[in-house]
Amino acid sequence: MGLLEGKRGLILGVANDHSIAWGIAQALHREGAQLGFTYVGEALERRVRPLAEQLGAPLIAPCDVNHDAEIAALMTRTQEVFGQIDLLVHAIAFANKDELNGPYLRTTRAGFLLAMEVSVYSLTALVKAAEPLLAPGAAILTLTYHGAQKVIPNYNVMGVAKAALEASVRYLAADLGPREIRVNAISAGPIRTLAASGIAGFRALHRSFAEQAPLRRNVTIEDVGNAALWLCSDLSRSVTGEILYVDAGFNIMGLSSAES
């Protein structure tokens, strides 16, 4: 029997088959979870629907997380299809390309607010709306990056957003813990996805990561999927409010000899 047999959940953030959310969806489905998927707009529906159908998804619905009405409609639909849910995966982030290039100091007010709304507040908005549907023992998972903790060139406002997202994980975990609902994040190493392609210099960062990480390689969406499986299963039932690094050990390193 699979680790997630009988579990039902929602996964937000599949844009295509390179998405981290797709790696997570495949791992959760492999262990028996039934998953609902979301998309933003018709163009994305055309890419997400065939993937979701591959996993026999009983729910494929629109949800732009910037609109409370779309979140509410998603939860209504979720209740109709699943009743309660045991899993909620948030793999969503966005910042304007202009903000992911050059000094952080140039961040605009509008760019800052947009990045925070899509990449940070959306987790709280989704959890708030999903709360009545969350079954005891449910697991909530989001995705963060090392740029929340250390300065990564060009990551800029997204680093600030990820720091706020990591703090949100702790506050939500404290709120929901008494109901046996857990909230965690995976801090993934760099992976070549649509979102990552917006960060200036990402290819070079991706290359140098593999040279510096203790395991001397990059991580894959399958690696993140398997770690997500652990965090979504009862195997991690006493883990909440944590940031799990899935980054081939990169975060434990100090300055490389070239920099020191």
Residue ranges in 170-229 that form contacts with ligand NAP under rule CB under 6 A: 188, 190-191, 193-196
- Whether 85 and 76 have beta carbons less than 8 Å apart is answered as no
Beta-carbon contacts of 207 under 8 Å, excluding residues fewer than 6 positions away, are none
Q: For residue 172, which of 128, 235, 106 has the smallest C-alpha distance?
A: 128
β-pair type (182-188, 243-246): parallel
- Whether 226 and 27 have beta carbons less than 8 Å apart is answered as yes
CA distance 154 to 198: 10
- Whether 256 and 189 have beta carbons less than 8 Å apart is answered as no
Exactly one of 3, 30, 49, 94 binds ligand NAP (CB under 6 A); that residue is: 94
For ligand NAP, which stretch binds (CB under 6 A), given 9-17, 73-81, 209-217, 233-241? Answer: 9-17
Residues belonging to the chain: 260
Which C-beta is closer to ligand NAP: that of 173 or that of 244? 244
CA distance 95 to 195: 9
Given the residues 39, 104, 121, 155, the one annotated as active site: 155
**Site mask, ligand NAP, residues 45-74, x = CB under 6 A?**
------------------xxxx--------
CB of 246 to ligand NAP, least distance (A): 9
Could you tell me how many residues of this chain bind ligand NAP (CB under 6 A)?
Answer: 27
Sheet of strand 34-39: strand arrangement: 59-62, 34-39, 8-12, 85-90, 134-144, 182-188, 243-246
Q: Assign 196 to helix, strand or coil.
A: helix
Residue ranges in 98-127 that form contacts with ligand NAP under rule CB under 6 A: 118
Which C-beta is closer to ligand NAP: that of 133 or that of 196? 196
Q: Is 145 a catalytic residue?
A: yes
CB of 183 to ligand NAP, least distance (A): 15
Exactly one of 10, 91, 133, 160 binds ligand NAP (CB under 6 A); that residue is: 91
Exactly one of 13, 36, 111, 159 binds ligand NAP (CB under 6 A); that residue is: 13
Which C-beta is closer to ligand NAP: that of 144 or that of 168? 144
Q: Which residues bind ligand NAP (CB under 6 A)?
A: 13-15, 19-21, 40, 44, 63-66, 91-94, 118, 143-145, 188, 190-191, 193-196
What residues are labeled active site? 145, 155
